Amino acid sequence: MSDDNGSGGMVMLAFLLGGVTGAALALLYAPRSGHETREMLGERIREGTDRSRELRDKAVARGKELLDDASGYVERQRGNLEKRKERLAAAVDAGRQAYREEKDKA
């Protein structure tokens, strides 16, 4: 059993080392100069950063919408609870009054 866990780690390490080696070879044999490659990588990083900011802003906006919806739901439920409390109190009072009236008749 422990050999399986160790071999999985070795496979992952080999995969990562292969990826790093491939990336290094790709940069060494790239048809562009180092300066052009750095500019291209910088541009891609900026694009990725801009895209991640857009996604973050959308996620934050959606989170605010959900929070507002949830707040509205909670407020509506509170209002409904208050109405139910008032009806229950009125029913209890009516029951007490009916009891008193019946008790006075007897």
In SS3 terms, the chain reads as CHHHHHHHHHHHHHHHHHHHHHHHHHHHCCCCCHHHHHHHHHHHHHHHHHHHHHHHHHHHHHHHHHHHHHHHHHHHHHHHHHHHHHHHHHHHHHHHHHHHHHHHHC
Separation between Cα atoms, residue 89 and residue 98, nearest integer Å: 14
What predicted TM-score, i.e. pTM, was given to this entire model? Answer: 0.45
Please tell me the predicted confidence (pLDDT) of residue 26: 79
> What mean pLDDT do residues 10-20 have?
88
Please tell me the predicted confidence (pLDDT) of residue 20: 86
> What mean pLDDT do residues 69-93 have?
88
| pLDDT tens track for 34-80 | 788 788 878 888 998 999 999 999 999 999 999 999 988 888 888 88
Please tell me the predicted confidence (pLDDT) of residue 6: 63
Of the listed ranges 5-14, 37-46, 78-87, the one predicted with least confidence:
5-14
Please tell me the predicted confidence (pLDDT) of residue 5: 55
